Amino acid sequence: MKITAIKTEVVHINDDAFVFLDKYVPADLENKVLVVTSKILAMFEGSVVKPSGKFENQSLEKHELAKKVSDYYTDPNSSKYNLMLTIIHNTLLVNGGIDSSNAQGHYILLPKYPYKWAENIWSHFRKKFNLSNFGVIVTDSKSYPLKWGCVGTALSYCGFKALNNKVGTKDLFGRKMEMTYVGVAESIAIASVLEMGEVAESQPLCIVEEISQIEFVDYAPTQSEIELLKINIEDDVFAPILTKADWKQTKKTLK
């Protein structure tokens, strides 16, 4: 797999998404995947919040915002580091994925509809360059239990199958696989975010090619295909941990 990060100018709030993308995305996209960080998409759509000045510190305001945008959250006081575990866009993230780095004095939220963004970007370049096999992934960063370090995660995808079903296939010794799925979109996201960087690299895009386990398709993912990626907490292999968290739920009122 070959990954090429694309260095760009600084994105500003409410910049035109496709003017920006057209400036930096190359035409040679056949059999490749374009990876876009969710942070610039949130800035394009104006999903940012200016600090109100009503809170004693930044963490308190960020926690209040996270409660409003997340599906579920834990009390930050339960964390040694005063952080909230949150579930948003079917992903376990810290503090609702809200970012205050490189944020031009704002809190940057996650984009409202990551799958809509992935589909629109996919459709735009597929039509513009007359592409047959082309994919898009929208990424963010997350942490894994028991290991230091942020890694990438796929918030959405388009143009290929996100899972490679290995159920029923045999291993080297003839044993049939019963539960094995390869997370294609997630694996590409992890590698791509490593190359794009997390701090001051200014590389919010990358092109991924020579992907061995990818099956391109000529349609956007259906709702049923998106649902196949989700695991209910009770059915998750990490259920013994997840079900014991004191999850709270708030109606999303942030506009």
Q: What's the pLDDT tens digit per position in 168-189?
A: 566 666 676 556 677 999 999 9
Q: What is the mean pLDDT of residues 189-209?
A: 91
CATH code: domain of residue 204 = 3.30.1330.100
Looking at residue 100, what is its pLDDT?
80
Report yes or no: 165 and 181 within 8 Å, Cβ to Cβ.
Answer: yes
**106 is a domain residue:** yes
**227 is a domain residue:** no
Looking at residue 255, what is its pLDDT?
40
Tell me how far apart the alpha carbons of residues 238 and 247 are, in angstroms, rounded to a whole number.
15
Residue with the bigger pLDDT between 165 and 185: it is 185
Residue 35, pLDDT > 90, answer: yes
Same domain, 25 and 12: yes
Residue 105, pLDDT > 90, answer: no
Residue with the bigger pLDDT between 180 and 18: it is 18
Q: Is the C-alpha dihedral spanning 83, 84, 85, 86 positive or negative?
A: negative
Q: How confident is the model at residue 113 (pLDDT cuts 50, 70, 90)?
A: very high
For 55-76, letters b (16+ CB in 10 Å) and e give: eeeebebbbebbbbbbebbbeb
Helices (H), the chain: 17-24, 38-45, 58-69, 114-128, 184-196, 223-228, 239-242
Same domain, 56 and 140: no
How many domains are there within the chain? Answer: 2
Percent of the chain surpassing pLDDT 90: 76
| Amino acid in the structure at residue 132 | S
Q: What is the mean pLDDT of residues 20-25?
A: 98
**226 is a domain residue:** no
Tell me how far apart the alpha carbons of residues 255 and 69 are, in angstroms, rounded to a whole number.
9
**177 is a domain residue:** yes
Same domain, 40 and 81: no
Same domain, 106 and 116: no
Question: For residue 234, is it left (φ>0), alpha (ψ between -120 and 50) or beta?
Answer: alpha
**In terms of Cα–Cα distance, which of 193, 188, 169, 191 is closest to 179?**
169
Can you read off the two tokens belonging to residue 6? 């694309």
Give, in degrees to the nearest 5, the angle at Cα 134 between 133 and 140.
150
Prediction pTM value: 0.92
Looking at residue 254, what is its pLDDT?
44
Tell me how far apart the alpha carbons of residues 34 and 4 are, in angstroms, rounded to a whole number.
10
Looking at residue 180, what is its pLDDT?
62
Residue with the bigger pLDDT between 91 and 202: it is 91
Same domain, 153 and 65: no
Same domain, 121 and 102: no
Same domain, 189 and 134: yes
Same domain, 101 and 210: no
Same domain, 106 and 128: no
Q: Which range marks the domain in which residue 212 is found?
A: 1-47+111-221
